[in-house]
């Protein structure tokens, strides 16, 4: 049986933990060469050491143009091409309009929104010139319905950017889709003061549980592969029925 990403090269941001790490492992198992970008050097390098033939770690601040160019250059130098980009890095700050500082708000915008623009611009240019590729943008259920300020607005922006990029890149053979996870059991979800509230909330999800990162990674795999060859500009929800 042929692996679903055989001979493909992927870049995944936020790839050191959570959904990004689950996707990196799955992509590697399905035949891809994967470059993960993250600021968590220890976790990122540990993952690369676990898959030395398939995964390469590069330290990356996704809000930095220079870091994006470095990830692109390292990938091209090592593997000669790029086929897939997964814009997955993201942060959330649990504050209201009236307690969040401008600096905190701008940081969320830089990580959640500007990083996606930079990824599409810098890595997407390689795919455009190649005439082939898939870009998967991680938005959120809060890119469809209300949630915390900062997180919600930037995730709506990722949804809109996906639409704009898909329209521009479709004639060049590059597909761009967004995924919208609900409550996922990741380090970002399970750390901090809201853990017990999240666990209680999960009991009211129609499927009565949080999702595992691997369940989102499976959707990323589908969109990264040629199995989704006629899907672009679309929104794929993985939320256990919360938005129905």
Which residues, 6+ apart, have CB-to-CB distance to 72 below 8 Å? 11, 82, 122, 123, 126
Which residues, 6+ apart, have CB-to-CB distance to 227 below 8 Å? 4
Give the number of other CB atoms < 10 A from CB of residue 229. Answer: 10
Rounded to 5 degrees, φ, ψ at 130 are: -75, -25
Q: Is 79 a catalytic residue?
A: no
Q: What is the spatial distance between Cα 196 and Cα 20, in angstroms, rounded to a whole number?
A: 24
Tokens 């086929």 sit on residue = 83
Classify burial at 128, counting beta carbons within 10 Å of its beta carbon; exposed 0-12, middle 13-18, buried 19 or more: middle
CA nearest to 47, candidates 70, 68, 22, 69: 22
CA distances from 30 to 9, 10, 53, 54, 217 (A): 11, 12, 13, 10, 12
Classify burial at 7, counting beta carbons within 10 Å of its beta carbon; exposed 0-12, middle 13-18, buried 19 or more: exposed
Sign of CA dihedral 25, 28, 32, 36: positive
Length of the chain: 244
Active-site residue identified among 79, 151, 222, 230 = 151
Which residues have a catalytic role annotated? 151
């Amino acid at each position: 049986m042929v692996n679903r990403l055989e001979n493909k090269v992927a870049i995944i941001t936020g790839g050191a933990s959570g959904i990004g790490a689950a996707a990196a492992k799955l992509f590697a198992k399905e035949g891809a060469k994967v470059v993960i970008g993250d600021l968590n050097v220890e976790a990122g390098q540990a993952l690369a050491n676990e898959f030395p033939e398939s995964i390469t770690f590069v330290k990356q601040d996704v809000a930095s143009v220079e870091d994006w160019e470095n990830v692109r250059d390292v990938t091209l130098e090592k593997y000669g091409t790029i086929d897939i980009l997964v814009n997955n890095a993201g942060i959330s700050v649990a504050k209201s309009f009236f307690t969040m500082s401008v600096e905190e708000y701008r940081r969320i915008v830089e990580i959640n929104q500007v990083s996606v623009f930079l990824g599409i611009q810098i890595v997407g240019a390689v795919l455009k010139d190649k005439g082939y590729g898939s870009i998967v943008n991680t938005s959120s259920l809060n890119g469809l319905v209300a949630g915390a300020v900062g997180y919600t607005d930037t995730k709506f922006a990722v949804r809109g950017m996906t639409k704009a990029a898909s329209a521009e890149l479709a004639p060049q053979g590059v597909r761009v889709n967004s995924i919208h996870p609900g409550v996922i059991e990741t380090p970002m979800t399970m750390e901090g003061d809201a853990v017990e509230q999240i666990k209680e909330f999960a009991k009211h999800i129609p499927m009565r549980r949080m999702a595992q990162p691997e369940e989102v990674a499976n959707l990323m795999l589908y969109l990264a592969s040629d199995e989704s060859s006629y899907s672009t500009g679309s929104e794929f929800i993985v939320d256990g029925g919360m938005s129905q």
